Amino acid sequence: MLIRKWDAALDDQEWRDFLDSHDFGQFVASGSGRDVPVIVPTHFVYDGVATILFHLARANPVWAALDENPKAVMSVASAYTYIPTAVNGGRDEPAQYGVPTSYYAAVQASGNCRLVDGAELVPILQAQLRHFQPEGGHAPVESGDNPYSRQFNAIRGIRLEIEEVRAKFKFGGNKTNDHRVQISDWLSLQPGELAAEARANLLRRSKAAESRNT
């Protein structure tokens, strides 16, 4: 992922906030000597510091890749939207010669994975249920003789300990403030949550840039 200086995370808190508010990604395990990595779409829970937690079916092909190489990546992207030619080109450029672009936020967190089985699955499953189903409505997840624990053999847990993060927030950081206002106005008229999320990122990062320059 190419990260230009104006698209880089403002600080570590920016990518941490992103992982905290986006809980579905592509888990990528390269293994060793494979033509392509194993890529698994999955929900996950980020602990806010340096660990990503989730579980997968024991039948998943990812386990062989992790046995070959325990280092893997959780790749998460959101706020993606297309900025068309006339909008990205700006007012001072002929509309037909504008160059379109994509806006998006992307975080790739990599590190070694510790595989978890049996009773050690309990805290991972508890964390996931607290995050995704805070209203409850389920029996306690605990070891012992109960319907949940009898299914532990069908799954394995993963604790990805984050060692490196590549984060990109591509929202017009190389544009003038006036041009970003123009793009923000255009985004405000576009339907859908992704356009709204892109606009919120553009405004937030523009405000941060103004603060740094004052």
pLDDT digits (tens, 9 = 90+) for 28-49: 999 999 999 999 999 999 999 9
- The pLDDT value recorded for residue 95 is 72
pLDDT > 80? residue 210: no
- The pLDDT value recorded for residue 26 is 98
Cβ atoms 24, 44 nearer than 8 A: yes
* Distance in angstroms (rounded) separating the CA atoms of residues 105 and 163: 20
pLDDT > 80? residue 91: no
Q: Look up residue 138 and give its two tokens.
A: 């389920």
214 pLDDT band (50/70/90 cuts)? low
**In the CATH scheme, what architecture does the domain 12-213 have?**
Roll (2.30)
Radius of gyration of the chain (CA): 21
pTM tops 0.85, yes or no? yes
Domain positions in the chain = 12-213
DSSP 8: B
Q: Count CA atoms within 13 Å of residue 176 on its CB side.
A: 7
- The pLDDT value recorded for residue 94 is 75
Q: For the chain, give the mean pLDDT.
A: 95
